[in-house]
Amino acid sequence: MKRMITIGITIVFLVVSISIMISGQWLKNSFHENDQLFETVQSIESDIKKENWVQAENDIDYVTTAWRLVVNRIQFSVERELINEITTTIYYMKGGIQARDRSVVQQNIAYFYILWEGVGK
């Protein structure tokens, strides 16, 4: 009986651990309106094409807050290096928006899309 309990606990632990490790693809998606990260980055891309810098500043502040929520969900299923790169890219976008430098923002948005595609793979 003791052996069966030990085996059962081990199997449950392994299933839960593997589920957490492979859930990054699902966990990166937005679950409520406070964490619509990808959609807001697309909105920033549209804002800078129209040179609507005020709205882009509001959007990048939202992205920063939303990213903190998403990181808490994906931190155990995504490599730390990827999380750090996305964080850095978001802050580069923020700096580009503050400087009103369209090319910097576009480069970092393109890089963000590449990194975002890699989350959970």
SS (H, E, C) 40-92: HHHHHHHHHHCCCHHHHHHHHHHHHHHHHHHHHHHCCCCCHHHHHHHHHHHHH
Smallest CA-to-CA distance from 37 within 95, 81, 101, 83 is with 83
Q: Report yes or no: 47 and 59 within 8 Å, Cβ to Cβ.
A: yes
Report pLDDT digits (tens) over 13-30.
Answer: 888 888 777 766 666 666
pLDDT band of 3, cuts 50, 70, 90: confident
- Which residue range(s) make up the domain with 35? 24-118
Instruction: Give domain status of residue 11, yes or no.
Output: no
Instruction: Give domain status of residue 6, yes or no.
Output: no
Indicate if the pLDDT at residue 49 is higher than 90.
yes
Instruction: Give domain status of residue 52, yes or no.
Output: yes
pTM equals 0.79
Instruction: Give domain status of residue 54, yes or no.
Output: yes
pLDDT score at 68:
92
Q: What are phi and psi of 21, to 5 degrees?
A: -70, -30
Instruction: Give domain status of residue 8, yes or no.
Output: no
* Rounded-to-integer distance, Cα 66 and Cα 71, Å: 9
Instruction: Give domain status of residue 38, yes or no.
Output: yes
How many domains does the chain divide into? 1
* Rounded-to-integer distance, Cα 45 and Cα 34, Å: 19
Per-residue pLDDT averaged across 49-68, rounded?
93
Nearest 5°: CA angle at 20, between 77 and 63? Answer: 45
* Domain containing residue 48: CATH number: 1.20.120
pLDDT score at 27:
65
Instruction: Give domain status of residue 2, yes or no.
Output: no
Instruction: Give domain status of residue 68, yes or no.
Output: yes
pLDDT score at 40:
93
pLDDT score at 30:
67
Report pLDDT digits (tens) over 69-121.
Answer: 888 888 877 889 999 999 999 999 999 999 999 999 999 999 999 999 888 77
Indicate if the pLDDT at residue 9 is higher than 70.
yes
